[in-house]
Amino acid sequence: MRTGLEFLCDVSRDEWLHVMMRRSRDDGVHVADYGLLNEGAQDRFCMHHRRESRVQRVG
C-alpha cells in the first residue's frame, strides 16, 4: 500500500527540510514540535514507514 510519502525516503536532507517546512506552512503542522527537522528524523521516518508497509502487505 502506497501512501504517497515514499519519495521522502529517497530525497536529500535539504529536500526533506524543504518539504517539511512547506508542510508546516501549508498544513499548520508544527514540524519542529515533532522533531522532523532534527538530524536523523528522515531515517526514523523511513524505518517506521517501511515497517508499516510490510505489516500492511503481510496482514
Render 1-59 in DSSP notation, one character per residue. Answer: ---S-GGGGSS-HHHHHHHHHHHHHHH---GGGGTTTSTTHHHHHHHHHHHHHHHHHH-
Q: Output 43 or 57, whichever has higher pLDDT.
A: 43
Q: Is residue 40 part of a domain?
A: yes
Q: What is the pTM of this model?
A: 0.64
Q: Residue 1 — very low, low, confident or very high, per pLDDT cuts 50/70/90? A: very low
Q: Span 8-12, mean pLDDT?
A: 90
Q: Print the domain residue range for 15.
A: 6-58
Overall number of domains in the chain: 1
User: Can you read off the three cell numbers belonging to residue 9?
Assistant: 525516503
| Cα separation, 16 vs 58, whole angstroms | 29
**Is 18 part of any domain?**
yes
Residue 2 CB coordination number (10 Å): 6
Residue 1, in any domain of the structure: no
